[in-house]
Amino acid sequence: MTSIKIWYQSYVDYENGKSYWDVLGRHLDEIVAPGTTVDINGITPFDSYAHPLVEFRCAREMICNAVQAEREGYDAFVVGHFQDAGLYEVRAAVDIPVIALGEASMLYCCQLGQRIGIVTINPRFIPWFHHQIGKYGLKERISGVHAMTFEPGQILEAYSSNERADQVKALFEEQARPLVAQGTDVLIPGGGIPMLLFAKYHNHLVDEAPVINGIPIAVKMAEMAVTLKRLTGQSVSRVSDYAKAPPEVIEEFLAHPKGL
């Protein structure tokens, strides 16, 4: 079989991010290989505030959705959210390849330059990003993390306002230039929303440093992961971090989201 079916997990729902979803759908259609289909799915309530508690809540729903995706016959699952909340846990719950936007972007950029800079949308994400960087073993490759001052919900406004989009681009470049001046080779917008917003700027550069759109990177890695699994039969190691949870533990997780 050459066809590939990918579940793309946005942390924004269609009701609150229609303009973003519409652009994302067209973008995904343009970048996938023949025979690949990508279905976008959201989270409600969506990730509208930059805080670890929100990330934790969304991560739980993402893991449940990945289990559903596997049971519905999807070949791969893409976490379309740069913070990668729940990444290690979801890989321990499913056997299909799970590719995450933040991890995939950072690892790919290691091939493009020695020093990588990240500009996130809100300063409250900076500690989270440093945890990610440490987990991925990239402390020596990430030269710095700077931030704009948007909430995730606010930056969605840039998809329906050219003035707002220009403002986001200018603020991103304002934060990116000091990183480049200090020796950064490659720049990553720290989020799927700004990545997609800047995708229309072909070969986007800030003082000669490329600004990377991680969405096609993550999707292409998902396609490659499916192809390689079909060729070799191999996937993630089950030795330590991704040790597979027993079926009864997965069912317990799915069935018991306790509240007050």
Phi, psi of 3 (to 5 degrees): -75, 145
Instruction: Tell me the pLDDT of the chain averaged across its residues.
Output: 95
Dump pLDDT digits (tens) for 69-117: 999 999 999 999 999 999 999 999 999 999 999 999 999 999 999 999 9
Output the pTM of the full model.
0.95
Amino acid at 188: I
Q: pLDDT at residue 153 above 80?
A: no
